Amino acid sequence: MTSRGIPTDFRATGQTGILINGAGIAVDAVVADFIAGAAEVLSPAAPDDHWDVIEGQGSLLHPSFAGVSLGLLQGSQPDAFVVCHEPTRQRMRNVDAVMPSIQTIIDLTIALGSKTNPKIHCVGISINTADQAHRDVYLEVLRREFDVPIVDPLVEGVGAIVDFATARSP
Specify the CATH number for the domain of residue 92. 3.40.50.300
Q: What is the pLDDT of residue 97?
A: 81
Count CB atoms within 10 A of the CB of residue 111.
Answer: 11
pTM of this structure = 0.90
> Using alpha carbons only, what angle is made at residue 130 by residues 146 and 126, rounded to the nearest 5 degrees?
30
Mean pLDDT, all residues of the chain: 90
pLDDT for 3? 64
Question: Helix, strand, or coil here: 123?
Answer: strand
Indicate the Cα dihedral angle 12, 78, 117, 120, nearest 10°: -150
Which backbone phi and psi does 6 adopt, to 5 degrees? -95, 125
pLDDT tens profile 45-72: 888 888 999 988 778 888 888 899 999 9
DSSP 100: P
Total structural domains in the chain? 1
Task: Report whether 18 contacts 24 (CB < 8 A).
Answer: yes
Boundaries of domain holding 138: 2-167
Q: Which long-range contacts (CB under 8 A, 24 or more apart) does 104-113 make?
A: 104/61, 105/59, 105/60, 105/61, 106/146, 108/60, 108/61, 109/60, 109/73, 109/81, 109/83, 112/60, 112/70, 112/73, 112/74, 113/73, 113/74, 113/77, 113/78, 113/81
| Average confidence (pLDDT) over 28-45 | 92
